[in-house]
Every structure is written in structure tokens, then in C-alpha cells.
A and B are shown apart, each in its own frame.
Chain A
Amino acid sequence: MVLTVRNVRKSYGQLEVLDSISFEVEEGNFACIVGESGCGKTTLLKIIAGIEKADEGDILYNGKPIRNEDIGYVFQDDRLLPWRNAIENVSFALEMRGIKNSDKAERYLELVGLKGFERYYPHQLSGGMRQRVGICRALAVNPKILLMDEPFASLDAQTRNRMQTELLRIWDKDRKTVIFVTHSIDEAVFLADEIVVLSKRPAKVIDVVRIDMERPRDRTDERFIEYRRRVLKHLSS
């Protein structure tokens, strides 16, 4: 079981965004994609999700073109629908996919620690809580691959660290394949099994860094810092 990104190219008119991107993610791995802002990380993620078309190249899951049912998506902004409360926002994804809700939405909200907030509307929830609902929505459809686009970028540093730990706790339960886009190297080293480092636009894969550290990781550990240094060197060159 493997996700393959093969020779993906994408341009917007004259602007070349992705220049032949290739990498693989093994089943159950947590992969982070890092790169500078505006290097095309989000575009790549949208191509994997099938909401943007690549000019060239393929996205394969076990050798076959990836299907919409295989993926769950978490947006950078929480993107909750303001007219639906927390539980209705989670069941939105189920309705779109035509999946029977039963108590799925409720169970997942409990899993992310939002029991008791089911009937709250997005404007009544904090930024961290809204993003949890967003994660919940993506998990509820039981995807094979979870795509996350800088989901914690708009949170303050402390909430962000807490959400990272929380995400690993949830991920550890069923170990879905995750592709997590971020521009924070610290976040990537903390979360990932492997980090796909992209260059400036037009983006190419510069390096794939495997992080061989047990979790939970200590951000002040020497090895942690060594990994950070390695990724950083790619990005600053």
C-alpha cells in the first residue's frame, strides 16, 4: 500500500509552479512536505486531492489513480460552514460522500476532545477548537490518506504545540497515511516519519529526510536539532 506522486508538473500560464515532483509515501507513514511560502505546496496537495489538475504526471494509490473516496482533507483555514454547528460540520463530509452517519460524527468529536461542544456554531468556538472540528470532518469519512494543509498555521505557538501532540495521539490510533504540508521545520521534525523538502518555485524535491526518532519527540534533543539543521540547510541554500 503506497501513495505515489510521479512526475507532477503544473504551471499557471507562464508561471511554472511544480517541476516534475516525484516521491512515495508508504502506508501508515506520516509525511511532511516543507518548503518556503508560495513554493506550490498547497497546489501539490490540491492535485493529490483531485481538486486541481496536474499538467503532467500521475497520483497513484497502490498503482491505480487515486480516487476521491481515498482522501480526507484538512484546510489551512478551518473552513467550517457558518450555518452548521460542530456536529453538522462533521456530518457534512459524510453527507457529501453518501456515508451513513449513525453516530460517527459524534464519536469523532469525542475523539478530538470536543464532547459537549456538538451544538456550538463555528463563531462560538476558539481557533483551536474549530481546527479540531476540521480534522474531525476529514477523519469521519474514514479516508485511506489524510491530507493536511498547514492546519495549525493560524494558531498561536502554545495551541499549535498542543495540537501537534493531539494530532499524533489521534493518528496513533489507526495510523492512516498522512501528508502534512507546513513551512515550519520544527513542526515537520516533531511530527513526521519522513520530510519531503521542496525547493523554491518551480518546486522540485530536493531531499527526503527520514526522521528516526521515537515519539513523543523532545524538541531540545540534539538529534532533533540536527534534523532541523539538515532541513534548514536545504531551504536556505
Chain B
Amino acid sequence: MNKLPSFFLFILIWYLFSFFQIIPPPHTVAITFATLFIHGDPVLGRTILEHSISSLLRVLAGAGIAFLISIPLGISMWYPRVYSLFHPALEILRPIPPLAWIPLSYIFFASFPRPTLFAQIFIVFIGSFFPSFVAISDYARNTPYEYVELAKVFGADKMKILRHIVIPYSLPGIITGVRVGLGVGWMSIIAAEMIATSGLGLGYFIMVMYEVGGRVPEIISGMAMIGLIGYAMNAILLKVEERFPWCLQSEM
């Protein structure tokens, strides 16, 4: 797919809006972006790359912990008993957005050495856990009975079926789960950073640029960086996903 026309259309609409002085034009933002990249921001003195890496590391920590739990838990949903034990409770927790956890998590982690950091990692954890869990458990639970029957005919017990059928079959679901989980985790960290001072981070950067007097080019640069990183993470994992010929249709 040629992505250029879409990109040009976007720039055109942007120019249209800037013509009516709603937002600065793309080239102004581009210059600001380049300055932020090389010299850093005027208030905190950090480059946009430093902010990005700081946010990314928090996402990797939170999402990493989430995957450590969501992968084995999602796979074990193949057992109907485990499913009926966990699923109803998780379905009540799932619709609570990560943002709604922010106040509680700041209170909960208040006594920790770095409460803000822990709270933010926890919010990413919430954001990453549920979508990845859903994607993985969907695969595990839909493991075709034909494959299970095949394993049984050759004498496999439950453990062997889990290891040689359910887990490999669910591999595309794990990749999808990681992709979607990272995406939601990425959105969650930006939101979490906007609420409490973290010293560094893209969300925090945007918030500071707002508070020092509405520096729109900087704000938009920060938003652009969020978009670019999110896009890159998604694109890489989509490529990995395409390698599995037995992929279920994912709509996320």
C-alpha cells in the first residue's frame, strides 16, 4: 500500500487549519521538532529523545510485568475450570480504564521510595494487561479440538497437549497481545505522566509546555513523537504477526 497520498492529504488539511490560525503550520512545528531533538526544550533542558526514552522505559517495565502474567494466565484459560474461576472477575475489572486507576495507585504507592514512578508503571500494567490477556485467552480457548484429538490419539496427556498444541497454536495471539498491550500501555503512560510530576517523559513534557504559556509547536511536537513511536511499535509487531499462516482475524 502506498502511504504517501494519505500523508500528503494530512499535511494539506493541517495547512488548511493553520491558514485560519487555529494551529501553527507544519513547517513551524517541524523546525520546533528539530530544535527539540537537537537542543532540547526551553524549560527542562532535555531533548525530546530523552523524554521519549524515559516514557518508553516505563512502558516496557509496566507492560513487561503485565505480559509475564497475561501470557501464562491467558494460556491457562484453555482449562475450562481456570476459565470459569477467573473470567467473570476479570470481565468486571476490564472495563475500568487505566486512567481511573490513577488516583488509587498514587495513594497506594505513596509510601514507596519513588511513588510517582511506581504508580505510573502500575497504570501501564493495567493498560497492557487486559488487552493482551484477552487476545491470548481468545486463542487458547479457541484451540481447535481437531488438534487436541490428534495429540490424544498419539497418547498425549493434558500437559503435553498444553505444551505442544495450545501454546504453539496461541503464539499469534501472544504476538497480537503484546502489540495491542504495548499500544494501550503507551497511551496510558502519557496520561499518567500528565497528572503527576515525573521530571522526564513525553506526557510530562507536553503538560509543562502547556503550563508555561501554551507553547503550541512544542505541544504538537510532543504529540507527533507519541504518534511516531506508537506507530513504529505497532508496525514492527504486525510484521511478526504476519508470519503465522494460522492467524485469526484480529480487528485491533
Contact = CB atoms under 8 A, between A and B. Distances in A.
Contacts of A79: 146-147, 150
A120 to B, nearest CB: 13
Contact of B151 (A83, A96, A121): A96
B169 A68 contact: no
A97 interface: yes
B149 A51 contact: yes
Contact size range, B: 10 to 19
B87 interface: no
A131 to B, nearest CB: 14
Chain B: interface secondary structure? helix
B7 interface: no
Interface stretch (A23-31, A69-77, A164-172): A69-77
A123 B160 contact: no
A84 to B, nearest CB: 8
A83 B170 CA distance: 11
Contacts, number: 43
Interface string A7-30: 000000000000000000000000
A96 B156 contact: yes
Interface residues of A, number: 20
Interface in B135-157: 146-147, 149-156
Given A83-B168, A83-B171, A121 B245 contact: yes
B164 interface: yes
Contact of A95 (B146, B164, B171): B164
Given A71-B153, A96-B151, A97-B155, 11 more contacts: A68-B154, A68-B155, A75-B150, A81-B165, A83-B168, A93-B154, A96-B154, A96-B156, A96-B164, A121-B245, A123-B245
21 contacts: A49-B153, A51-B149, A51-B152, A51-B153, A71-B153, A73-B153, A75-B146, A75-B150, A79-B146, A79-B147, A81-B147, A82-B245, A82-B246, A83-B246, A92-B164, A96-B155, A96-B160, A97-B154, A97-B155, A121-B245, A123-B245
